[in-house]
Amino acid sequence: MSTPHIVVAGGGYVGMYTALGLQRQLRKGEARVTVIEPRSAMTYQPFLPEAAAGSLEPRHVVVPLRRTLKGCHVVTARVGVIDHAARSIRVQPVEGDPYDLAYDELVVALGSVARTLPIPGLAQHGMGFKQIEEAIALRNHVLDRLDVAASVSDSRTRRRALTFVFVGGGYAGIEALAEIEDMIRFATRYYDSVSPEDLRFVLVEASDRILPEVGADMGRYTVARLRDRAIEVRLETRLESCVDRHVVLSDGEQFDADTIVWTAGVKANPILATSDLPLDDKGRVRASTDLRVEGLAGAWTAGDNSAVPDLTHPGEFCSPSAQHAVRQARVLAANVVRSLRGQPLEDYKHKHVGSVASLGLYKGVAQVYGVKLRGFPAWFMHRTYHMSRLPTFNKKVRVVLDWTLALFFRRDVVSLGSLQHARDDFDRANT
């Protein structure tokens, strides 16, 4: 009998931790593992806001897959159609022709994508905030806007450069907004013609609350703290249009803004719709409690792209969070190994312990095991919790060094937006 081939589709939280678990638990020759992921590294998303704000070096919040998964074969490619009936997956490498890869066991860990709406102008001018390149691009963009505002004479151009709109009040959006505002406010000290009062930050949230992850009280507290910082928090308001970066809100307000960040939720990876896997009405792969794909042999799933029953709240599904993703990956890896060995499988059960969110340097909000924290203690908990969760000792040390250096030296607030145009000078020299 040939060695079973396990294919892990996606190398994010679930993909990387599952592969790591398999690598640790499989005996030599028991199975071979292939991870298919278009990026060369796993992104530790909870640190993206700090990477965008320059508190952390972006390279320190990503974990290189090949270095971490030495016992696995890593393929830098996108997964296309999954034909589970034929035990075959379409692989689209970054360059070259697509090909089909045969497998015995499949782990579906393709995560989520931004949940966008057909809002005029959004596709052209909105920026996402889910990947490391988006965090770097946002940092460069907002610092670049400060340079523009400080150097133009036209007041309209200046006003739109200094107007920053964030749509979506979940933790990704609030942390991104709060960290960026903190950084820009700090950066204005180096500009003789831009002061903090010139900045306009607008948070647009369709529901009547923000940060549902930390509970209603802490959500209200966060709104109050953001408003203290002159951030306009517009609840029960929707973005209706942003054609040519002219923002129109559902409350009738209209203004121009060069920065429109969209963080209004996520949806399961749409590539799943092309597969023959069972999906629910939200496009998520249906999972059973032991993390097998419902009704199928040889297929497993977890994380944001799946509907995993929440055994602590019967009838509900686990929320899309890193907290669940990491724990599910551990159970999933162990269950794949158990199934190869003909042993009984374990069910996934974890009670969500709460959430912590950073609101900029030394500011935060948290609700963990029912305990509410605010201000410095919450911020400190955010840092220590995520540092402890960050994969690999190497990255932990680098992150701690970044934070330590930041205590002695002020934030680095230089825009490297010119990275987008790295060939421009050379091209000019050639003309």
Ligand X SMILES: Cc1cc2nc3c(=O)[nH]c(=O)nc-3n(C[C@H](O)[C@H](O)[C@H](O)COP(=O)(O)OP(=O)(O)OC[C@H]3O[C@@H](n4cnc5c(N)ncnc54)[C@H](O)[C@@H]3O)c2cc1C
Which residue ranges make up the site for ligand X (CB under 6 A)? Answer: 9-15, 36-39, 45-46, 48, 78-79, 109-111, 129-130, 171-172, 269, 271, 303-305, 320-323, 325
Burial of 359 per CB tally in 10 Å (0-12, 13-18, 19+): buried
Question: Is residue 325 within 8 Å of residue 302, measured between CB atoms?
Answer: yes
Least Å distance between CB 17 and ligand X?
8
Residue placing its CB nearer to ligand X in the complex, 25 or 40:
40
143 versus 366: smaller Cβ distance to ligand X: 366
Q: Which parts of 344-392 fold into alpha helices (H)?
A: 376-389
Q: Residue 96, Cβ neighbours under 10 Å: how many?
A: 9
Beta bridge partners of 266: 114
Nearest-angstrom CA–CA distance, 128 and 264: 9
- Min CB(268)–ligand X separation in Å: 9
Report the nearest approach of ligand X to the CB of residue 306 (Å): 8
Helix, strand, coil shares of the chain, percent, nearest 5, are 40, 25, 35
Residue 114's DSSP bridge partners are 266
The CA–CA distances, whole Å, from 289 to 18, 84, 99, 317, 430 equal 16, 20, 32, 10, 62
Q: Which is nearer to ligand X, 47 or 221 (CB)?
A: 47
The kind and range of the H/E element at 254 are: strand 254-256
Nearer to ligand X, 36 or 199 (CB): 36
Closest to ligand X by CB, 237 vs 275, is: 275
Q: Residue 7 or residue 340: which is nearer to ligand X going by CB?
A: 7
Rounded-to-integer distance, Cα 300 and Cα 331, Å: 11
The CA angle 304-305-309, to the nearest 5 degrees, is 75
**Residue 256 burial (CB < 10 Å; 0-12/13-18/19+)?**
middle
β-sheet bridge partners, residue 192: none
Query: Which residues, listed in sequence order, are joined to residue 75 by a DSSP beta bridge?
Result: 36
Q: Kindly report the backbone phi and psi dihedral angles of residue 26, in degrees, each rounded to the nearest multiple of 5, phi listed first.
A: -75, 140
Q: Which is nearer to ligand X, 149 or 260 (CB)?
A: 260
Provide, rounded to whole angstroms, the least separation between the CB of residue 378 and ligand X.
12
- Pairing relation of β-strands 32-36 and 266-268? unpaired
Nearer to ligand X, 81 or 150 (CB): 81
* Residue facing ligand X at closest CB distance: 12
Secondary structure string (H, E, C) spanning 290-303: CCEECCCCCEEECH
Could you tell me the smallest distance in angstroms from the CB atom of residue 261 to ligand X? 11
Which DSSP letter does residue 26 get?
S
* In the complex, minimum distance from the CB of residue 248 to ligand X, in angstroms, rounded to a whole number: 26
| Residue 277 falls in which region: left (phi positive, over 0), alpha (psi -120 to 50) or beta | beta
Which CB, 172 or 277, lies closer to ligand X?
Answer: 172
> Shortest Cβ distance from residue 250 to ligand X (Å)?
25
Give least dist CB 300 to ligand X, A: 13
Asked whether the beta carbons of 330 and 17 are under 8 A apart, the reply is yes
CA distance 403 to 422: 29
Output 44 or 201, the one with its CB closest to ligand X: 44
Shortest approach of ligand X to residue 320 CB, angstroms? Answer: 5
Measure the CA–CA gap between 85 and 105, rounded to whole angstroms. 12
